[in-house]
A and B are shown apart, each in its own frame.
Chain A
Amino acid sequence: MRIETAYQNGELRVMLHGELDHHAAGDTVREIERAVDAYMPMLCVVDLGGVTFMDSSGLAVLMKTRRRVTQIGGKVRVTGASERIERILNSAGIGKFIEITRREEVHIERN
């Protein structure tokens, strides 16, 4: 799991690359929380576009991110989820707690 962060105008973007499973979850949460504490963002966008595998362990990572960001009064948005990852997010009803934007919506509109 590789984690990239970028901050601009109150928005923290966390880009995850690789396999997000239980083995990777602990370090991933720690790194996200460190970035959230450092930047105190209004909005934290978790970009799953580079995630090649995710299971239920990723759900806990997202919920923990939400908790940390909510504590400082910010919001979380998840983007870039593949179809399978989206199925996992939906089965857990994550959309009730975290805004999920579809992969297509983040791209420039066609015609």
Chain B
Amino acid sequence: MIHVEELTKVYQMGESEVRALDGASFTIQNGEMVAIMGPSGSGKSTLMSIIGCLDVPSSGRYTLDDVSVENMDETRLADVRGRKIGFVFQQFNLLARTSALENVKLPLTYAGISGRQRDERAMKALERVGLGQRTHHAPNELSGGQQQRVAIARAIVNEPAILLADEPTGALDSKTGVEIMDLFQSLHRDTGQTVILVTHDSYVARHTERIIKLSDGRIISDEKNPNPIKAGAPRMEA
């Protein structure tokens, strides 16, 4: 369970300060699939990185499975980042000059998984994102969409309980985008993963069960979507 209360994040920019998050509160139950929407600069990425334990809020509380994240020590945090949470970065953040396979294997290495299993699982993850043929290419030899899929493979390879994806389909064509949504839906459905994804695309958002809208760091709406679109079903323009 993810529970945040009055989260704020203030960036000091010389004289002025930017309130990237301004009192956001919500609870996401285990196994939910949620979309976060909002205009550019509304604080979506900031929120995601706090939920992902990659950054700390300026104020407010964040409890993850009944444990206050502030109270977690360095090793506990590393454990949460490595095994409980999979994070797809908006900027992909792949290691340069390192093959797709090696990139995907990285979380497994730090999770202490043995060598042969690592190769197997990383290959599986790459196949799931449709990159089974491109495993030995370095990021600069891959297209933007392919890089994004490597990033997704890296996030799911450890089978994390929570998958956080910051614009996971931003660099993909609509067909591949649908494939990724299908992947997320099946992960969510089959293994009960909590999936939180950021998107600008309301069509993508409607694949989830709940849509949270942000504006200027505040939550302006938080609604259930009772009939999520099933990925791959014929698209109906709104």
Please indicate whether A and B come from the same complex rather than being unrelated chains.
Answer: no
Could you tell me which A residues sit within 8 Å of B by CB distance? none
